[in-house]
Amino acid sequence: MKLLDGKTALITGAASPRGLGKATAQLFADHGACVVILDLDAAQAEDTAADIGEEHIGLACDVTRKADCEAAVAVVLEAYGHIDILVNNAGITQPLKIMDITHEDYDAVLDVNLLGTLNMSQCVIPHMRERKTGKLINISSVSAQRGGGIFGGPHYSAAKAGILGLTKAMARELAPDGIRSNAICPGFIATDITAGKLTPEMMEQIIAGIPMARAGEASDVAGCALFLASDLSAYVTGSEVDVNGGSLIH
Ligand code: NAD
């Protein structure tokens, strides 16, 4: 059964080859959706969309810039006529200790993760409200729930915890408009977000704390996003869904 036939999904930060966004885009496409890959670099976003199939599109969109988000949404509405699903996936992290975080670091991490989620959501909500249907899926992190301790610093935990608050507040405010808002909290997933800064010792220590004794795969998160994007989760809103191999059980 195809779960997303006829749906259009926007996924931010989805051009990273081993990332959660691309895996999610691929799975959504396999389930019949038209996907829009948004990322910083236009050519990389276009190539990623082409990899997935010819009916998909890739656009440059820096989620920290509201004008970029507005422009992308306008292009997508022109191309497909409707937007059903937004996955706020774009994110960056920095492995800093509390006293090492500068104002610049704080702005960089908060802006991509939290402001980016607000910006893109604000750009699709009026359209979703008009149609009385829509799904917002926001990628938070186990770091928000357990206070970091995997890779990202305290500012990353704070940004991801902010996403949980935003997700829940949007769920409450937008439920009467038929819009559901949920968050996913991935644990440690093998992608390129650690930018080569993860040492073998850090890796060993992380795996030791995971009852399932393995890093997660991007497809593990994509499967959860598919559930939240489809009608299988019709009565689920305001939730934070853990995809962490048991590393945080609460
Ligand atoms: P990734 O680094 O592979 O991909 C992130 C993508 O976001 C990149 O393609 C990057 O170009 C893009 N991006 C960065 N700044 C952007 C901006 N301003 N506008 C648009 N795009 C931008 O990372 P990933 O591991 O696939 O992470 C995806 C999401 O999952 C992030 O929000 C991350 O915080 C979250 N997450 C990841 C893990 C993990 O272990 N990998 C765990 C928990 C949460």
User: Measured in angstroms, how far is the CA atom of residue 183 from the centroid of ligand 1?
Assistant: 15
Q: What is the pLDDT of residue 1?
A: 79
| Region 173-185 average pLDDT | 99
pLDDT value, residue 195: 84
- Please tell me if the CB atom of residue 19 comes closer than 6 angstroms to any atom of ligand 1: yes
Distance CA 57, CA 47 (A): 9
> What confidence score (pLDDT) does residue 73 get?
98
- Ligand 1 centroid – CA 3 distance (Å): 25
State the Cα angle at 223 between 36 and 31, rounded to 5°: 55
Q: What average pLDDT does this structure show over 73-97?
A: 98
111, 90 Cβ separation under 8 angstroms: no
Nearest to residue 16, comparing CAs of 32, 33, 38, 36?
A: 38
- pLDDT at residue 231, as a whole number: 98
b/e map 204-234, b = 16+ CB within 10 Å: eebeebbeeeebbbbebbbebbbbbbbeebe
Residues of the chain above pLDDT 70, percent:
100
Whether 196 shows a pLDDT value over 90: the answer reads no
CA–CA dist 127, 96 (Å, integer): 39
Highest CATH level, class, for 8-242? alpha beta
> Residue 62: CB within 6 Å of ligand 1?
yes
Q: Which among 80, 106, 156, 235 is annotated as catalytic? A: 156
At residue 150, the pLDDT reads 86
**Statement: the pTM of the whole predicted model exceeds 0.85:** yes
| 156 catalytically annotated | yes
Predicted pLDDT at 71: 98
